[in-house]
Amino acid sequence: MVNDPFVFGQIAVANSLSDIYVTGAKPLLALNLISFPKKGLSRDVLKRILEGGLSKIKEAGALLVGGHSVDDPQPKYGLALIGIAHPERIITNREAKVGDLLYLTKPLGTGILATAFKAGLFDEKSPLYQRMVNIMVELNRVPAEVMVEVGVSSATDITGFGLTGHALEMARASSKRFIFYLHRIPFIKEAREYARMGIIPEGDYQNLAFCEKLLSIHPSIPEEDHFILADAQTSGGLLIACPREKKDLFERRNFERGFYSLFLVGEVAEGDPGLEILP
């Protein structure tokens, strides 16, 4: 997705940490898991990947305690993580309640942007590249901590199956209907422009096809927006179902900690499990 090994490491670790954060747990220990070729790439590339990852492990307040490596022509990097959570405060994706408000913590479209970047439509000197990177390396730490303190109903993280895929998984697990309002969902403007041009990853088509039977999209919503809703995100945001009566507290505590990337995008309703996207 990016050429800079240090940034590659940061994105991989931020992505890994979301699996801990989404449960309401605090990351404690990390093991590096890396595949890297013995020949063909400089050891300095490996060093920079691990340095980028370590910077985010430290930011999360966790400890790196070792790792494993495999000889592989295709570089791959991630973490095995151990976190801790109170057994009565673990957050799952199956407890959304009717009336809950749905919050998203990162804008959509990084998958489409990464495809455009690989196609040479913008480069590393572009402000758009830096924005794409900033979104992917940002930890979901603050909203994860706040959702435990406030006591939200349910949550999931938005990664490879896009907003529609992960929201549908959460709606089905909770036996509820999720209603989203398109005008409230944060899109990266340029991603919409590239999608209109047909710069769409293959995975987005697969995501839409998977959700099709349980996904209702208002006919006024243009096709390019369908793909952004299903866009595969790397290190995407959290989707959080917050009780309506806790709305002000949830927002205030995030803002007090300097976290403003918080978007109220929908609500949980009764009805057959599925998703409804309204203008």
* Three-class secondary structure assignment of the chain: CCCCHHHHHHHHHHHHHHHHHCCCCEEEEEEEEEEECCCCCCHHHHHHHHHHHHHHHHHCCCEEEEEEEEECCCCEEEEEEEEECCCCCCCCCCCCCCCCEEEECCCECHHHHHHHHHCCCCCCCCHHHHHHHHHHHCCCHHHHHHHHHHCCCEEEECCCCHHHHHHHHHHHHHCCEEEEEHHHCCECHHHHHHHHCCCCCHHHHHHHHHHHHHEEECCCCCHHHHHHHCCCCCCCCEEEEECHHHHHHHHHHHHHCCCCCCEEEEEEECCCCEEEEEC
Residue 53 makes CB contacts below 8 A (sequence gap 6+) with 9, 10, 12, 13, 32, 77, 79
Q: Is 273 exposed, middle or buried, given 0-12, 13-18 or 19+ CB atoms closer than 10 A?
A: middle
Give the pLDDT score at 262: 97
Using 70 as the pLDDT threshold, list the residues of the chain that sit under it.
none
Give the pLDDT score at 269: 98
Give the pLDDT score at 117: 97
Residue type, 168: L
Give the pLDDT score at 248: 98
Residue 60: both structure tokens together: 């999360």
Give the pLDDT score at 1: 82
* CATH class belonging to 101-278: alpha beta
Reported as half-sphere exposure (CB side, CA atoms, 13 A), residue 193 has a value of: 6
Nearest CA among 152, 140, 94 for reference residue 238? 140
CATH 3.90.650.10, the chain: domain bounds:
101-278
Global pTM reads: 0.96
Give the pLDDT score at 143: 98
Q: Calculate the alpha carbon distances from 161 to 14, 59, 206, 233, 271 in Å.
A: 17, 27, 9, 8, 23
Give the pLDDT score at 199: 97
d(CA 105, CA 251): 11
Give the pLDDT score at 148: 97
Residue 275: both structure tokens together: 């998703």
Cα angle 80, 85, 91; round to 5: 95
Does the structural domain 5-84 have CATH classification 3.40.50.300? no
Q: Calculate the alpha carbon distances from 227 to 106, 208, 230, 240, 277 in Å.
A: 17, 7, 5, 21, 13
CATH 3.30.1330.10, the chain: domain bounds:
5-84
